């Protein structure tokens, strides 16, 4: 079960034009495990309904991403141990790696607003020390669309 004591961080993918399904955000744990406490995906370009699959999963081989350092939600906390890097924590994959265990598999109607994942504490998904979790858009959009995403974590030390 997740504890309530840890440091909070958020990884953000700025609005990005996508034409295919891909890893939106990947967080690779450093020397501390973490839980996902929230995630969002939104879009600003589509005006017709479309259903897209979204998964929260572990990678057996991490994706190649644009490095993104987790942002502090409390400026008095220490930096995250899940450091940014092209094969570490980052956004907008350019090479997918290999998907492992699928922990959440949901569908998002892009016209119904923001897709949100906010688990109760007992249902939070955990990445072990040195492990990873990724927010992945599985379905290819019918046409290019601009997507933004966030993944919020609590890191335990």
Q: Is the pLDDT of residue 148 over 50?
A: yes
Structure tokens at 116: 């949100």
Per the domain annotation, does 63 fall within a domain?
Answer: yes
Look at residue 4 in the predicted model and tell me its pLDDT. Answer: 66
Mean pLDDT of 9-17: 96
Residue 77 pLDDT level (bands cut at 50, 70, 90): very high
Residue 1 domain flag: no
Domain that holds residue 73: 7-155
Domain count, the chain: 1
Mean pLDDT value across the chain = 94
User: Is 2 a member of any domain?
Assistant: no
Residue 79 is assigned to a structural domain of this protein: yes
148, 59, 102, 70: CA torsion to nearest 10: -40
At residue 5, the pLDDT reads 86
Backbone angles phi, psi at 3, to 5 degrees: -85, 170
Residues 41-64 have a mean pLDDT of: 95
Tokens encoding 102? 């699928």
Structure confidence at residue 60 as a pLDDT band (50, 70, 90): very high
Q: Is residue 64 part of a domain?
A: yes
What CATH number has the domain bearing residue 96?
Answer: 2.60.120
Give the residue from 137, 66, 148, 142 showing the smallest Cα distance to 113: 148
| Helix (H), strand (E) at residue 131 | none
pLDDT digits (tens, 9 = 90+) for 92-126: 999 999 999 999 999 999 999 999 999 999 999 99
pTM of the model: 0.94
| C-alpha separations of 58 from 4, 46, 50, 88, 130 in Å | 23, 29, 26, 13, 12
């Amino acid at each position: 079960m997740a504890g309530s004591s840890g440091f909070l961080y958020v990884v953000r993918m700025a609005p990005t034009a996508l034409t295919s399904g891909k890893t939106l955000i990947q967080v690779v744990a450093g020397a501390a495990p973490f839980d996902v406490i929230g995630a969002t995906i939104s879009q600003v370009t589509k005006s017709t309904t479309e259903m897209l699959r979204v998964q929260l999963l572990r990678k057996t081989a991490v994706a190649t991403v644009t490095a993104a350092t987790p942002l502090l939600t409390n400026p008095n906390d220490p930096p995250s141990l899940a450091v940014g890097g092209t094969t570490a924590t980052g956004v907008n994959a350019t090479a997918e790696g290999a998907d492992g265990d699928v922990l959440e598999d949901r569908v998002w109607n892009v016209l119904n607003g923001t897709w949100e994942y906010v688990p109760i504490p007992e249902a939070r998904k955990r990445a072990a020390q040195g492990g990873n979790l990724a927010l992945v858009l599985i379905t290819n959009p019918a046409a290019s669309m601009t997507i933004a995403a966030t993944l919020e974590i609590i890191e335990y030390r």
